Structure 1
Amino acid sequence: MHRAVAWGSAAVLGVLAVALFLLLLTLAKDTALPARNKYGLVFDAGSTHSSLYIYCWPGGKENGTGVVSQLEACSVEGPGISSYADNPAGAGASLKPCLDRAMEIVPAEQQQETPTYLGATAGMRLLREQNSSKAEQVLAEVAKAIGQYPVDFRGARILSGNEEGSLGWITVNYLLETLLKWSITGTWIHPPAEDVVGALDLGGASAQITFLPGTTISDSSTRALLRLYGTNYSIYTHSYLCYGQKQALKMLMASLHQGSSSPQQISHPCYPLGYQENLTVAQLYDSPCVQAPSTASPAESLSVRGTGQPAACSAAIQELFNFSCGANESCGFNGVYQPPLRGEFFAFSGLYHSLHLLNLTRGQPLSLVNATIRQLCNSSWLKVQELLPSMSSSQRRDACAASSYSLALLLHGFGFDHSTWPHIHFVQQVGNTDVGWTLGYMLNLTNMIPSEAPQRVVGLQRSNWVAATVLLAIMLILIFCLLTAMCCQRGSSGYERL
């Protein structure tokens, strides 16, 4: 009777040990073989150039946070797609080298399931204002070119200014993990609202400011309502069309031309002393952001001469802005409502590049930034070429104007001052990922940032592994002891028979 009970106990323990072993083996297999990576492609079709961003993330964590990484950013040769208004097929052809590069990176067996998007920004918004049919033709040709590749193409469209600003804000806060963070206790936590940062973006044709204000947004046209990870955000965002760097400098040149005492001569205080160039009226007034005088002939040649005058340069740039708030108690410029600035801000794109050329993106005080730009603007053309040897001729020519415009936009346009300047962080990347609207665009359209907070990850943690292993060991020891006892009892019974 005792022997039968012992054998039964040993059998039960053996079955439990085998079951526990198989469970551990399955969990170990799942841990050792994670889901394969997934990929996403996003074209940023800007006003001056286009880029293709190639993203990657673990397939099993689509609703997680901080898991998307940028594999590569491929710069498309040539100008932005809006420049192909009279040659739409050329816009599509320009994208193919970067698409070929993406096909080398994304595994062939996953290309057909790789979501691919193209978003066009202010350059195409301006073209649409000028000629909507040409804008549609350009979009059709780029869609046709992308459609020839074995990807999950989900469309090409023109983003609104508020979309561009909101998506840039999502990108930077996603990368900084200020929307949702995985804590050391193994749970998701929502960082306080004070940790959320603002986004400052300067493109070629538009400028965006987006942040979470501390007050109610009174103008609904500047409000974006977002629900991210189970939290509602009412953010302020506005895009200033024509106030991107390229268009703003074109407006500056047009203003100088129209204010010149000689219609064929333009004295440019932001160009270095000794610099000269010629351009036609048609070249100067080729954008809806500037309107040519009725008396000007398109073929008329204009002579531009740099004078290198920092104070006059700053004054001429400030004339591009209208600082009257009108009916709004608080505004940015041109009468556009803007609540008081709040929190930290990340400045990227043109704001970063224009100041990075002068090594002014490392948190230097505003006084040093002002002095450095003033010194550059006071330099001769020969001196500027020595100071910026690796830059192209046009970059050297525009260095003073671009950096002065960025400073004027931040201080006079958006309202930063000496006390809030330290809250601006100039960045190109966060965590090896370029900051801009493209990542936010892909995250939004692939639903990788859900409207509800993700559930706590259910899995076997380290402590549970240890407990399970100890339990398995105890079972094996008990089985061994039972079998040993039965063997001893059987041997003892045999001796008694003798």
Structure 2
Amino acid sequence: MGLSWKERVFMALLGAATISGLTVLILILVQATYVLLPADNKFGIVFDAGSSHTSLFVYQWPADKENNTGVVSQALACQVEGSGISSYTSDPAQAGESLKGCLKEALALIPKAQHQETPTFLGATAGMRLLSQKNSSQARDILAAVSRVLGQSTLDFWGAEILAGKDEGAFAWVTINYILGMLIKYSSGEWIQPAEGTLVGALDMGGASTQISFVPGVPILDQSTQVTFRLYGANYSVYTHSYLCYGRDQVLNRLLVGLVQRSPQALVHHPCYHSGYQTTVPLASLYESPCIHTMVPMNLTQNLTVLGTGNPEACVAVIQELFNFSSCKGQRDCAFDGIYQPPVQGQFYAFSNFYYTFSFLNLTSRQPLGTVNATIREFCQRPWKLVEASYPGQERWLQDYCASGLYILTLLLQGYGFSEDTWPNIKFQKQAGDMDIGWTLGYMLNLTGMIPAEAPAQWRAQSYGIWVAAVVFVVLTLVAILGAVAVQLFWRQD
């Protein structure tokens, strides 16, 4: 006896469902390919504990990295309230407490699940270098206080240290070249290394020290001034030197002390201050810094009256006395104070106090050296009352811009060896690519080389055409199955 119509239709639909389902399975198993999902972001935190203030920076980079170095971007910048940590000698615990506000902002930004794997480092610069020379136990107490606060957080605390001036300068060099795309850049869908010869130098000036870093065109003869990096698979050899006591604040203090030594009276005429300017300074405060090596006056309790004379030529003369140019003794590769330096080469970025001073004087537009000289000297000769009226609300540093401007010219031209021909190679800038220029980003880039990379996650996927075909066969399978069920349930037997 043959199959009925119902049975034949049922078997046909069941067979179609089976074939269609097998086709879907084959498409999934045979045509599937693996795709890489974007890597998770890693985070890192660096505190820059400078002589005048502390800043926190949060950086992030994809976990898979490029040639063992992270492609780092700035996620947060936070300025800590109060002065630099070196000022908390009488209350070291407060140095740690001062960090909590910015630390809270960083913790809110970074996913909680990643807190324990986020490296956190505090680097103290020239202010703490000076304090360590003056009173090492006070410096240790302050570092211990900030370490307690950061160590009690949920972060992976790597330590609080006094950063060597050499490292500060070298990491700043890494920062500026990375931001400008000189170490790695994105082109045609991939990360590539730019052609050699495009690297720029870094000129940094804080309150207590100043740094110069660049890749010279000749071999570096003094190994103590050389720092090497391996970034994105390439090796770099950088000349760098940090001059302690040549930062802006320390130079201004040394300048005034030098004038005091010339005038035994309690009245000092200051050529770098505007005519008509007058201030009173506690004499003892001038001799607190380890940068002062002159004989201390007998009566430190008296106050010093300082009168401005507004004489730029006399100001330059006393500034030059802060340098020991004769110590080079005719050596060609020598800056000042007997320090080895190869000839400057290429473009330079000048930031921090270089930028702040020249920005105030409206000299950040690559003006010729003659224009810069004339502008600073004209400003120095303005009467104090006119200067005060021209810059309301800027009283805190207003009297110091004349000295700072002339000091920068002396340092760059007579100290580092820039000339009228190479002056246009210096660019005064605070930021590049919306990122702050300083040592912290360079430090984090170098640090990423010590953090293991994570391979991107894999996921099985099909091409669009295969995906569409699979969907069609799934629909056909469902239709056939539903048809078979309908035949079984609703088709009456003859």
CA drift at 1:89: 1.2
Match of 2:138 among 126, 134, 138: 134
- Written as runs of structure 1 = structure 2, the 5 A alignment for 1:136-151 is 136-151=140-155
Which structure has more relative contact order (CA 8 Å, sep 6+)? It is: 2
Q: Does 1:338 align with 2:348?
A: no
Tell me which residue corresponds to 1:193: 196
SS of residue matched to 1:194 = coil
2:152 counterpart letter in structure 1: Q
Q: Deviations over 1:67-94 (max 9, x none)?
A: 4222322112222111112321121122
Distance 1:87 1:133 in 2: 13
Tell me which residue corresponds to 1:493: none
Match of 1:400 among 399, 402, 405: 402
Q: Does 1:56 align with 2:60?
A: yes
Q: Deviations over 1:340-392 (max 9, x none)?
A: 1111111111111111112211222222222221121111111111232232x
Tell me which residue corresponds to 1:422: 424
Distance 1:104 1:362 in 2: 39
Tell me which residue corresponds to 2:219: 216
1:192 counterpart letter in structure 2: A
Tell me which residue corresponds to 1:371: 374
Contact 1:89 1:141 in 2 (8 A): yes
1:123 counterpart letter in structure 2: G
Contact 1:115 1:154 in 2 (8 A): yes
Q: Does 1:90 align with 2:94?
A: yes
SS of residue matched to 1:425 = strand
Distance 1:459 1:408 in 2: 59
1:312 counterpart letter in structure 2: A
Distance 2:197 2:181 in 1: 13
Distance 1:11 1:216 in 2: 71
Q: How many residues align?
A: 460
Tell me which residue corresponds to 2:6: none
CA drift at 1:14: 5.2
Structure 2 stretches of 5 or more lacking a match? 1-16, 476-494
Segment of structure 1 superposing worse, 240-249 or 228-237: 228-237
Q: Does 1:303 align with 2:325?
A: no
SS of residue matched to 2:378 = helix
2:103 counterpart letter in structure 1: L
Tell me which residue corresponds to 2:115: 111
Tell me which residue corresponds to 1:442: 444
Tell me which residue corresponds to 2:168: 164
Match of 1:79 among 83, 103, 117: 83
CA drift at 1:44: 0.5
CA drift at 1:111: 2.3
Structure 1 runs, 4 residues or longer, greater than 4 Å off: 7-16, 62-66, 454-460, 467-480
Contact 2:118 2:156 in 1 (8 A): yes
SS of residue matched to 1:195 = coil
Change (3 A) 1:457 1:297: same
Contact 2:175 2:438 in 1 (8 A): yes
Q: Does 1:237 align with 2:247?
A: no
CA drift at 1:198: 0.7
Distance 1:229 1:110 in 2: 25
Distance 2:344 2:18 in 1: 75
Distance 2:471 2:148 in 1: 65
Structure 1 stretches of 5 or more lacking a match? 1-6, 481-498
CA drift at 1:136: 0.9
Tell me which residue corresponds to 2:282: 280
Change (3 A) 1:475 1:147: closer
Change (3 A) 1:136 1:354: same
Larger radius of gyration: 2
Tell me which residue corresponds to 1:433: 435
Match of 1:181 among 185, 198, 201: 185
Distance 2:303 2:470 in 1: 94
Contact 2:287 2:296 in 1 (8 A): no
Q: Deviations over 1:393-416 (max 9, x none)?
A: 231111111122122211121111
Contact 1:124 1:158 in 2 (8 A): yes
CA RMSD in angstroms comes to 3.2
1:432 counterpart letter in structure 2: D
Give the alignment's TM-score, normalised by structure 1.
0.84
SS of residue matched to 1:42 = strand
SS of residue matched to 2:82 = coil
Distance 1:174 1:20 in 2: 44
CA drift at 1:328: 3.3
Contact 2:51 2:84 in 1 (8 A): yes
SS of residue matched to 1:290 = coil
1:49 counterpart letter in structure 2: H
Tell me which residue corresponds to 2:125: 121
